[in-house]
Structure 1
Amino acid sequence: MWASYDAPPAKSFHVDFLAEAIYQPRDAFVYAASLNQVEVVKRWIDKKLNIDELDKDGIHALYMAAQNESLEVLELLLTSGANVDQQQENGKTALHAASTWGRVEAAQLLLVHQASIGSRDNDGQTPLHCACRNGHDAIVQLLLNSGVDLFVADDLGATPIDVAQDWQRLDILDMLAGMQKDG
């Protein structure tokens, strides 16, 4: 008998995944994308599934692939026509996810596919706001190198500089101050 803290047998993932796919196919597609399940995602794309559709929680596959840095699935979705700037119900894009979670390779891939560096979520926050809040220096630098606007304010009037200051992200504040002097 498996104790509650033990890992379940390997085949239970497949059984659970199959049950999920039968009852909530959209949710299972998003879940597969988050786990970098390339073959599963390919099969669903081949069946002409709308890859930009949101699941029951308002999340889309590209966002989850970026959040979990599922790079193979991210590339597959992008080359299969996924909208690089598709927003979730909360307005966040895949670049917001990569910026929030510090997923540098995912952010680079999204930028190669022309993701909007100025996209705003429902609170008016950009990917730069997210990276500043969470202390992801490499993402901040990547966005700065891409020409992001340092002075864009969210719905509460906070700029990325304000966010970095509020969260005491000193390295990021130094980076942003350097860009202000250069720019």
Structure 2
Amino acid sequence: MTTDAQKQFHEILADFDNAMLVTRSHDQSLHARPMVIADREQGGDLWFVTSSQSSKVDEILDDSTVAVTLQSSSKFLSLSGTASLSDDQAKIAERFDGFSIGSNDLTQLIMGVDRDSAKLKDLFDERNEAVKTAIRDVIERAHAKDTKVGICGQAPGDYPEFAEFLVDCGIDSISLNPDSVIGVIKRLTQ
């Protein structure tokens, strides 16, 4: 592609915020879905964000060939290429201005314990060392890229030592239930 063609390509691409990502499903049929464009790189790479549990992730793992279509009332662009998946938090942090950790969901994921299960609820504990290690790691990686990290969930309000742990890790914000705000602030300012 010539320099003029590259310039024109990037000018057209800059006009779009959304695209259709087309993957091939397990039965070889095409599967298109709308996606928000999270970022564009100079080389033409597009970044999309999705859940690692998404069917499109499974489809890309099976066949990384994709098509991306972009259309407005006066312009269109159609791209084909190879998709790659990234869960590199440092790289992702370059593209986002903040992360929010849901401590309940994170604990459930790491410990494999459903917090709503009457049989297992006593095993569910956000203060588990594996959970704390994951939280500390996210904060460190995000801060290395000057990206802020917040947390929501019951743990900081229910367990004062957990709130202290978060502050020691450098958390940027803590979401609390209204009934626990004063107690947590008092504990953290002692």
Q: Same fold (TM over 0.5)?
A: no
More helix by share: 1
Give the greater-gyration-radius structure (CA): 2
| TM-score w.r.t. length of structure 1 | 0.36
| TM-score w.r.t. length of structure 2 | 0.35
